Structure 1
Amino acid sequence: MSTPPPPGDQPWNAAPPPGPGYGAPAAPPLRPDEEKTWAILAHLLPFVAGFLAPLVIWLVFRGRGPYLEHQAKESLNFQLTLLIAYVVGSILLIIVVGAVILIAAAILQIVLQIMAAIAASRFEWYRYPVSIRFIK
């Protein structure tokens, strides 16, 4: 039976020994009321912070609740879709159709985000009807 080398003699790419103190502890799952609150915020905060709000919520709470993870991804996908619509609409402002795209995107943003927040307040699994699924 071989003994492990002393701590100073381990290769640079050796994995740390198992035991307490190594790695971050797993975050506890969220309670249902916390999941619901963060899901509502994932749908409403983009009015203020754009696609960054659902992105941060998804990255921070990933793996801590399937409902919140799904709702944050849905909101993020919708915000990225809106970003594309706003960029295309802005480019096409030289012709009249750009204004129509911008107005339609703004109306869809207001209506669908409020509908999603209401569904999240009822703990319903909401899926945006007009959204490109970038993150699955």
Structure 2
Amino acid sequence: MSDPQAQPPGDSNYREPNFGQPGYGQQPAGGPNTTPVVAAPLSEADDRQWASLAHLGGILSFLPSLIIWLVFKDRGRFTNTEAKEALNFQITLLIGYVAINMISFILAIVTFGIGGLFIGLAWVLWLAGVVFSIMGFLKAKDGQNYRYPFALRLLQ
């Protein structure tokens, strides 16, 4: 049985591990204790692109708008404004989906299932979300602010 720490035959580059030696496990110079690097501001074209993608991402859910707002809010004024607007709209839609599902569930119980048809309104809400998200995308792509016709202004 051979010792796993023994030098392999013919390997002149092998070095013994320095467990317990001073400096073992420490970060090299320029490690995590250095000053953080601030990201550069977005160019006008990038600002428009991320702002428009924040609106278009609303077709999927509120997460794309949230991520874009959190990552780019300090780098572009237009992206900050438009991503907040898109996020407010997506949160409003989410509240609407929850309300429709709760009301539909309660009506289904009370009316022995007939009230469950109320859930069809969720499709209308989804369709409105897709249409308004595309409209926001087209406006933001051209550099114009877009205001959704209905949205709770939770983020100012």
TM-score, length basis structure 1? 0.77
Hey, what's the Cα distance between the residues in 2 that align with 1:23 and 1:82?
41
Q: Is 2:131 the counterpart of 1:131?
A: no
Alignment gaps of 5+ in structure 1: 1-20
Q: Alpha-carbon deviation of 1:111?
A: 1.4
Q: Is the 8 A contact 2:58 2:129 kept in 1?
A: no
User: What residue in structure 1 maps to residue 28 of structure 2?
Assistant: none
Q: Alpha-carbon deviation of 1:101?
A: 3.4
Q: Is 2:134 the counterpart of 1:114?
A: yes
Q: Is 2:107 the counterpart of 1:83?
A: no
Q: 2:59 aligns with which of 35, 47, 53?
A: 47
Q: Is 2:50 the counterpart of 1:30?
A: no
Q: Alpha-carbon deviation of 1:28?
A: 1.1
Higher helix proportion, which one? Answer: 1
Q: 2:75 aligns with which of 64, 67, 71?
A: 64
Equivalent residue letter for 1:41? L
Alignment gaps of 5+ in structure 2: 1-32, 109-114
Q: Alpha-carbon deviation of 1:52?
A: 0.9
- 1:15-26 matches, cutoff 5 A: 22-26=34-38
Higher Cα radius of gyration: 2
Which whole-Å deviations, capped at 9, do the CAs of 1:35-55 have from their partners, x for residues lacking one?
11111111112223x111111
Q: Secondary structure at the match of 1:24?
A: coil
Hey, what's the Cα distance between the residues in 1 that align with 2:45 and 2:118?
41
Identity of aligned residues (%): 36
User: What residue in structure 2 maps to residue 6 of structure 1?
Assistant: none
TM-score, length basis structure 2? 0.68
Q: Alpha-carbon deviation of 1:100?
A: 5.2
